[in-house]
Chain A
Amino acid sequence: MTAAPRKTKAGAEKIDVTVSAVVPLNDLVTRFEFRRTDGGAFPPFSAGSHTVVEMNDGGRTRLNPYSLMSDPADTSTYAISVRRDDEGRGGSLYMHNNVRPGDRLTLSYPVNLFPIDLRGHKHVFLAGGIGITPFMAMIAHLERMGGAWELHYACRSKALATYADDLTRAHPSRVHVYYDDQDQRIALEDLLDGQPLGTHVYVCGPGGMIEWVHRTAAAHGWPEENVHSEEFLAPQPGKPFEVYLCKSDITVHVGENESLLEAIERCGVDAPFLCRGGACGQCETDVLEADGTFEHRDHWLDEDEHAGGRKIMPCVSRFTGKKLVLDR
Chain B
Amino acid sequence: MSRFHFPESIRSRPVYGTLEPRPGKAHLMIADAEGAEALLDLASADAGLVRHAHIIYIPKGTGETYVERLRALDPEQLHVSPSFDASLPRLRRVLAEAHMGLQLYLTGTEGLMGRAQSEAMQAGIPQGAIQTEHRGSVARRMQCVHCKGITEDVMTDPFVCSHCGLNLFVRDHYSRRLAAFQGVCVDAEDPGNVPDPVELYS
- Write the residues of chain A forming the contact surface with B, with a CB cutoff of 8 angstroms: 119-121, 192-199, 218-226
- Measured CB to CB, the closest approach of chain B to A99, in angstroms, equals 42
B60 within 8 A of A: no
Partner of B123, one of A192, A193, A197: A197
Starting from the known contacts A198-B123, A199-B100, A223-B126, 11 additional A-B residue pairs (CB-CB under 8 Å) come to A120-B124, A121-B124, A192-B100, A197-B102, A199-B124, A220-B23, A221-B25, A221-B100, A223-B128, A224-B128, A224-B129
B48 within 8 A of A: no
Is B102 within 8 A of A221, CB to CB?
A: yes
Is A197 within 8 A of B95, CB to CB?
A: yes
Is B23 within 8 A of A226, CB to CB?
A: no
Is B25 within 8 A of A197, CB to CB?
A: no
- Measured CB to CB, the closest approach of chain B to A75, in angstroms, equals 32
- Measured CB to CB, the closest approach of chain A to B120, in angstroms, equals 9
B73 within 8 A of A: no
Bound state CA distance, A281 and B103, in angstroms? 32
The 4 closest A-B CB pairs, nearest first, are A198-B124, A221-B24, A223-B129, A221-B101
Contacts of B125 in A (CB 8 A): 197-198, 223
Q: Counting chain A CB atoms within 10 Å of each CB, which of B98, B101, B123, B125 scores highest?
A: B101
Partner of A195, one of B24, B100, B128: B100
- Measured CB to CB, the closest approach of chain A to B78, in angstroms, equals 22
- Measured CB to CB, the closest approach of chain B to A261, in angstroms, equals 33
Partner of B25, one of A218, A220, A224: A220
- Give the number of residues in B that approach A within 8 Å (Cβ atoms): 17
Contact string against A for B residues 74-113, beta-carbon threshold 8 Å, 1 for contact and 0 otherwise: 0000000000000000000001001111110000000000
Partner of A220, one of B98, B100, B124: B100
- Measured CB to CB, the closest approach of chain A to B30, in angstroms, equals 15
Closest to B126 in A: A225
Is A221 within 8 A of B22, CB to CB?
A: yes
Bound state CA distance, A121 and B125, in angstroms? 10
Bound state CA distance, A119 and B124, in angstroms? 7
- Measured CB to CB, the closest approach of chain A to B25, in angstroms, equals 6
Is B126 within 8 A of A197, CB to CB?
A: no
Contacts of B100 in A (CB 8 A): 192, 195-197, 199, 220-222, 226
Contact string against A for B residues 12-36, beta-carbon threshold 8 Å, 1 for contact and 0 otherwise: 0000000000111100000000000
Is B128 within 8 A of A196, CB to CB?
A: no
Closest to A221 in B: B24
Is B99 within 8 A of A193, CB to CB?
A: yes
- Measured CB to CB, the closest approach of chain A to B103, in angstroms, equals 6
Is A197 within 8 A of B22, CB to CB?
A: no
Q: List 19 A-B contacts (CB under 8 A).
A: A121-B124, A193-B25, A193-B101, A196-B100, A197-B95, A197-B99, A197-B125, A198-B123, A198-B124, A198-B125, A199-B124, A220-B23, A220-B100, A220-B101, A221-B24, A221-B25, A221-B100, A223-B126, A223-B129
Is A225 within 8 A of B129, CB to CB?
A: yes
Closest to B26 in A: A221
Contact string against A for B residues 126-149, beta-carbon threshold 8 Å, 1 for contact and 0 otherwise: 101100000000000000000000
